[in-house]
Amino acid sequence: MLDFIKNTFSSVLGTLIALFIMGFMALTSLILIAQVLQDPVPQVPDNSLLVVDLSLSINDKPPTVTIDQAIEEAIMASHMERVGLRNLLNTIAFAKSDERIKGIFLQGNLQSVNFGSGYAAIREVRAALEDFKTSGKEIYAYVLNAMPRDYYLMSVADKVAMNPFGEIFFNGMGVEMTFYANALEKWGIGVQPVRAGKFKSGIEPFVQDRMSEENRLQVTEMIENLWASMAEASAESRGIPVGQLNAAANRDRSFRAEQALETGLVDELVYFDEVLQQLKEITGDDPDERTVTQVDLADYMRANRGNESSGSDNKVAVVYVEGVIVGGEGQYDQAGAKKIARRLRDVRLDDSVKAVVLRVNSPGGGAQASENIQREVRLLRGSKPVVASMGYVAASGGYWVSTYADRIFAQPNTITGSIGVFGIIFNVQEIAENFGLTWDYATTHDYAGSWTITRPQTEGEMAQLRETTEWYYERFLQKVAESRDMEIEYIDSVAQGRIWMGQEALRVGLVDEIGGLDEAIAEAVEMAGLDSDYRVVDYPRAHHLEEVIQAILEDRELDVSFDPSRRIARRLENELEWLKAFDDPGGIYLLPDIHFQLF
């Protein structure tokens, strides 16, 4: 017995010592990582060119660098993957009056992470670059291979150069959708859907093998509007008649270098070394110098971190709803209802917050999760001004959370509306039976266990799911009618799950103003009567690596979700991420059909 006690004690003591050593090593590692990765604040040389490599995702929500991301970026020597929209806009505005900056150089191809680099955000960045040019400073762009959104942004430049072997894919827009119905049938996975609204197409990929006519109509209108806004702006910047640009875009699959030059999309065909020589003329560098005096976007942002802080006690809070809306806290790339509701509650109870901008870049998600966010918006509206600012997409559940704002702003190319509801329940009975799995049931009541996925729904269960879906749709209509002060019959006529672009949404009364995030903030400031005595605070705000590590060491929480997963590599995996959105306890969803590939 004594030996047993000794052995047990030794084992426990050894385990405690091992845990202590592991904890000490982890703590030491964190400190070392912080020291290694925390570079000194970059210096911005005089007569610098601000180099903006577009190989990043412009997201509405400010990015947070988590430890796993920092380690991977240090090992892979990767560049900035995400940048917050407001931070980018402020950086361009600051560079406009910064005497150290002589111009901007654009290159690279935009990326999209979690609805980032959407057309509404790019429109705002393009407007900021237009404003930058009023300073008399030049913008220079260099094209190697450009997709539509890349060229749309680059066309704002004073001079657009192109590699002699490059291509520009600025030849219209299309939509490619993946349909799973046939695959699900072959796999033996059953799908039982209901929907309210004839345009509510979010369930179509799971039950059809092609678009419905209603969906084809709204998707066609959407891409026609997107293309028209891009083509008109690009044609104006390049001094090309838009009809001529459209005719040229209709002739070939892409513009090769000579065609791009002939059409007027670019000014010259040069190699990169020749570009460097031209850029030296802007910075005043000696032609024999190895490179150009420059500062890249990431370093420039770090060097100017904190410049926008006014020190005012009056805050205008920007609360971000970005990603698919889910219950609970959600992952970093999701709009967790519990987390967002807590932020809205915090700003409501914070007397220093005088006005709130709700920035929405979300296709919606679970009905209950969307309602939890909307409840806090309604409570907030009763105590201080609330302005909704719609980004790339604020549809279905994204519209649900926005509708009670005092004013709603959208860009002309914002995807919004989709006021409709669908319900969907999967069952795996057939595929399970193929592997020899079966289930049997014992219940106390007729509808006990009705949410199982091991069998198809009964006729009675489907009837009640239809009733619930209709109930949610009616409540959706009521909420929009009440918040927009319109007749419910009219709202029903423009609802039906139909997607509207921002300009059309303004026409039918679903939004109040056309404008971006800056315009929404200005409206909130005016409604609160703040004049110039205010500062803008992001919720969540960006947390840098040193802050994250310091918070861990101090056992202090930050308003950020830690997610060790990285960006999904393959498109199919990206599309299947949508399945994670189907977490609503009632099986009712406020999602439009936004899970398609634009090209």
So which residues are the catalytic ones? Answer: 200, 396
Task: Give me the residue label for tokens 């028209």.
Answer: 228
Looking at the DSSP bridge assignments, the partners of residue 417 are 395, 499
53 forms beta bridges with 107
Backbone angles phi, psi at 279, to 5 degrees: -65, -30
| Contact in structure between 47 and 284 (CB atoms under 8 Å) | yes
Residue 146 backbone phi and psi in degrees, to 5: -125, 130
* Structural element, H or E, at residue 393: strand 386-395
Residue 321: strand, helix, or coil: strand
How buried is residue 170: exposed, middle or buried, by Cβ count under 10 Å (0-12/13-18/19+)? buried
Ordered DSSP codes for 208-226 = -SS--HHHHHHHHHHHHHH
Q: What angle do CA 303, 309, 311 make, to 5 degrees?
A: 140
Strands (E), 448-595: 499-501, 513-514, 535-539, 588-590
Q: Is residue 292 within 8 Å of residue 49, measured between CB atoms?
A: yes
Nearest partner of 353 among 151, 535, 161, 592, judged by Cα: 535
Q: Which residue has the tokens 């899970």?
A: 595
Instruction: Please tell me the distance from the alpha carbon of residue 228 to that of residue 172, in angstroms, as a whole number.
Output: 9
Three-state secondary structure along 134-187? CCCCEEEEEEEEECHHHHHHHCCCCEEEEEEEEEECCCCCCEECCCCHHHHHHH
* Nearest partner of 113 among 72, 56, 52, judged by Cα: 56
Selection from 404, 307, 313, 389 nearest residue 353 by Cα: 313
Evaluate the omega torsion of the peptide bond into residue 540 and state whether it is cis, within 30 degrees of 0: yes
